[in-house]
Chain A
Amino acid sequence: GPKVLQIPSHQIIDMGQMVTLNCDPVSNHLYFYWYKQILGQQMEFLVNFYNGKVMEKSKLFKDQFSVERPDGSYFTLKIQPTALEDSAVYFCASSLVNQDTQYFGPGTRLLVL
């Protein structure tokens, strides 16, 4: 099936530093998403991005978070500054149209020390 790639697979960072998580979505998809999964808990929606804009975000999407997809390149999630509670696995997803099946990447495991 369609593949979503995420880079890096793991990231360890000191609290307060900036981190950028990269997502290579399915090539013709137009809608992009980030989800967060803390160890042992369910996956939770962070943000949805379309046509260069954030369409919807949850309360987990703090002011320190930002997303962008410059010129059709990677869809990125930036956290600046990071906090200990940001440690989690972050999953990127994409869909062709709104309300359609979302295809997920393998996740980036972020550890904030």
Chain B
Amino acid sequence: AQSVTQPDARVTVSEGASLQLRCKYSYSATPYLFWYVQYPRQGLQLLLKYYSGDPVVQGVNSFEAEFSKSNSSFHLQKASVHWSDSAVYFCAQLYQGGRALIFGTGTTVSVSP
């Protein structure tokens, strides 16, 4: 069965520090990959997506992600976090021809001052 794994349930970083959130997918071909962020009592907001091409994808709020076929990964990164980046981050995949997003369990990010 297809799955998305986010191994880190919680991450705490200091404001101004760098952040990396890990995501691994399981699909024999290359799926479409997404990172969403969920702020309290809000819906998911798209940060970035990868369909094909350049494996480094730029997103909103200076987030970027790198796709690696050899590692089946799509890690999210930000060079310098702000307190407003505190939220839950979800990695998701959509297999080609499919309609259902498959989500990871999410990583809660807490940015401390």
| Chain A residues, Cβ within 8 Å of B44 | 43, 91, 104
| Chain B residues, Cβ within 8 Å of A93 | 101
Q: A43-B90, A99-B32, A99-B94 are in contact. Are A104 and B100 (CB under 8 A)?
A: no
Q: Which residue of B lies closest to A3 (CB)?
A: B43
| Chain B residues, Cβ within 8 Å of A33 | 99-101
B residues in contact (CB < 8 Å) with A: 32, 34, 36, 41-46, 49, 90, 94, 96-106
Query: B43, A101: Cβ atoms under 8 Å?
Result: no
| Chain B residues, Cβ within 8 Å of A102 | 101
Q: Which residue of B lies closest to A57 (CB)?
A: B100
A residues in contact (CB < 8 Å) with B: 1, 4, 6, 31, 33, 35, 41-45, 48, 55-56, 58, 91, 93, 98-99, 101-107
CA distance A1 to B100 in the complex (A): 21
Q: A33-B99, A101-B49 are in contact. List 4 more A-B contacts (CB 8 A).
A: A33-B100, A33-B101, A99-B96, A106-B42
Q: A91-B44, A104-B43, A104-B44 are in contact. Are A31 and B99 (CB under 8 A)?
A: yes
27 A-B contact pairs sorted by A residue (CB < 8 Å): A4-B43, A35-B101, A41-B105, A42-B90, A42-B103, A42-B104, A42-B105, A42-B106, A43-B44, A43-B101, A43-B103, A45-B100, A58-B100, A91-B43, A93-B101, A98-B99, A99-B32, A99-B94, A99-B97, A99-B98, A99-B99, A101-B34, A101-B49, A104-B43, A104-B45, A105-B43, A106-B42
